[in-house]
Structure formats: C-alpha cells, structure tokens
Structure 1
Amino acid sequence: MRIQEIIVVEGKDDTTAIKRAVDADTIETNGSAVNQMTIEKVKRAQETRGVIIFTDPDFPGEKIRKTIAGKVPGCKHAFLPKEAAIAKGGRGVGVEHASPEAIRAALKDAQPMREEIVEEITQDDLITAGLIGGPGAKERRIHLGKLLKIGYTNGKQLHKRLMMFQISRQEFAEALVVVRQEEENNG
C-alpha cells in the first residue's frame, strides 16, 4: 500500500514501523519540542504532497499533533487506539509498537480536521450521553473515539474533537447506540 502524503511521526522507530506497514515517506519530529526547521519541512510537504500527522496516543503525541496542526493547516490526522500501541510487556506506548495491520487501518482512516467549526453536539449532549463524568465515562469515550475514528480524548477535549471533525448529530447518535449496545452485552 503506497501512501501519497508524507507522514509526520515522532522518531526513527516510528518510521521503521511505518515502513514495515506501508510504502511511505516520513518526517520525524524527534520529540515534543517541535523546532521551526521541522515546521518548515511539514509546511513544504503539505504544499507538495499533503501530510498525515500520526503521533503516539499519549500526552506528548497530542502535544506534537496540536503544535503542527496549529502551524500547518489542512493536515490529515491518523489515530492509533492506545491498546494497539502498547509495547509487549506493557512498558511504553507508541506507533513503533503497533502491528502493520493497525498502522494500515489508522492511515486508511486518516481525515482532516475542519478549520470552520460548527457546533452540532453540545456539552450537555455529552453529559446526557454519559461521556463526561460518572462511572464508565472514560470507557465510553475510548469506544466512541474508535468508532468515529477521532482517537481518545479526555472529557474536556471530546467536544472540541467532535467539532473539529464535524461529526454530525446523526453520526454521533449512531455511534452512541453501538457503544450502549456493547456496554449492555458486556455488563
């Protein structure tokens, strides 16, 4: 599988994992303090081939994602579920630990965040849905993030992520039905 866009990753091990999964070029940020030279490379890549930001599903990875997305608009975003990125033995989380299948699935689902944000889903909707506060909220957000392919977020960031990806009320409601059905089946 050939990827046209250039994939932004955190380091060399991520590049190795990407190349095991797909035929693609990468730009490595080499840590969460993304320097201006890296930003310039990403801007150039976005202008010529497009960019997919594919960082680790952890706090430093989100920081890198936000930094680049803030300075280089129009990038696509690929998200890896945390459980697909855990090292054998449970020490460490990152793209480098993911299987080629998980990497291909995340890249296939890459999508751009929208610049113009239209609120369709409110904070009250999230509370009513049991996604913020209360028992099981975190697990519901994890499952919802997987279904909608927007990655995991904490309660504060979920609303923003839903708006940035312009998740419709219908899409949100349909995903919520699946989350609740699986919760009932497992509960």
Structure 2
Amino acid sequence: MIKEIIVVEGKDDTTAIKRAVEAETIETGGSAINKDIIKRIKLAQQRRGVIVFTDPDHAGERIRKIISAQVPGCKHAFLTQEEATSKGDIGVENAAPETIRKALANLRTDYVAAQSDIAMEDLIAAGLIVHPQAAARRMEMGKRLGIGYCNGKQFYNRCRMFRITREEFAAAWQQLENKEG
C-alpha cells in the first residue's frame, strides 16, 4: 500500500491506479479544481503526504500548478504523452499498470523556495530553448530527468522546483547528445 494519497483527475484515473498499485486517491473532477478539493488535498498532505499524478496535457499541467501553489511539498509522478495515449486520447487511465508503477517509483518532490544550480543559460547551451529542435529536446530531457514535458520557461521552473542538480542535468544532456549523435 502506498502511504501517500494520489491526486488524479477522475474516476478512470483512479481505476487505472488501483489496477497498478494499492493506493487511495483524491479525484479533482477535471481541471475545475475547487476550494473543497484543495482543502482535502491539504489535509491529505498534512496527514499522509500527497502524490500529484495528472495527465500529461495542458489541463493536467494546470491542475498540477494549482496544487503546487496551494499545497507545498507535494510529490509528483509523471507520464510521457506516449505512455498515456490510446486511440488519440491522453490520460493516466490509458497507461499500462507497469508504466504507472514505474512513474510512482520515480517521484519528484517540489520545494518551497526551491534552489537549483541550473541557469537559463544552461537550457540555451543544451538546445532546450532558442533552438530549432528545442521542443523535441525538452521532451527527451524531461523523460530522462523524470519531470515531464513542458515549455522552456516551465522546464526551467521545474528544474528549480525539483532541485535538479547540475550533475543530473549534465548526465541527461550527455545521454541525449549520445542518442542524437
């Protein structure tokens, strides 16, 4: 049984989580997350801890941001869009049980007043922003770092939020370079 309570978007996500692991969930009811849900998530965080496990799409990212802003110290599980897509539909409910278990084994924690030694210049040098292939490179780096896909500014923020070290960043970048080379 997973100690923390997993925050998901809906009933189908809960079903997928329970097929993969023994856990309890809080459903946000989609992207219209309200004050009562935030109160439940805050209580869960205080009592048992929270894992945010939303869809790898715009709505899921919006929910993740809202929760992170209002409930500090949450853990985050990420899926890639490929892992969460079936017949053109993107969602946690589409992921295989082993993929869900893998995502839950590679959690990241956000931190209040997060610090990282990654600078915007590092993202430019790695071709993650201001580069013709920046989006594809961010997608690969996000997979390797376990922080998911996002735009350049959000990628920088996630590096800081999850305290990605210069060593982690360099190792992921080297793997990307070796794959491309």
Q: CA RMSD in A?
A: 1.0
* Distance (whole Å) between structure 1 residues aligned to residue 111 and residue 147 of structure 2: 13
Cα deviation, 1:82-131, whole Å, max 9, x if unaligned, reads 100001x2x21000000001100111111211212224111111111111
Cα deviation, 1:13-59, whole Å, max 9, x if unaligned, reads 00000000000000000011111111111111111111000000000
* Distance (whole Å) between structure 2 residues aligned to residue 176 and residue 111 of structure 1: 19
Indicate the larger mover: 7-16 or 123-132: 123-132
Corresponding residue pairs, total: 181
Please state how far the C-alpha of 1:135 moved relative to its aligned partner: 2.1
Following TM superposition, the consecutive aligned residue runs of length 4 or more in structure 1 with deviations greater than 4 angstroms are none
Q: TM-score, normalised by structure 2?
A: 0.97
Please state how far the C-alpha of 1:134 moved relative to its aligned partner: 2.0
Amino acid at match of 2:162: F
Residue 54 (structure 1) aligns with = 53
Amino acid at match of 2:8: V
Residue 144 (structure 1) aligns with = 141
Residue 65 (structure 1) aligns with = 64
- Structure 2 unaligned spans of 5+: none
Aligned counterpart in structure 2 of residue 122 of structure 1, from 119, 141, 147: 119
* Distance (whole Å) between structure 1 residues aligned to residue 57 and residue 130 of structure 2: 21
Residue 132 (structure 2) aligns with = 135
* Distance (whole Å) between structure 2 residues aligned to residue 114 and residue 6 of structure 1: 18
Residues 1:26 and 2:42 aligned together: no
Residues 1-187 of structure 1: matches in 2 within 5 Å? 2-87=1-86, 89=87, 91-184=88-181
* Distance (whole Å) between structure 2 residues aligned to residue 124 and residue 69 of structure 1: 25
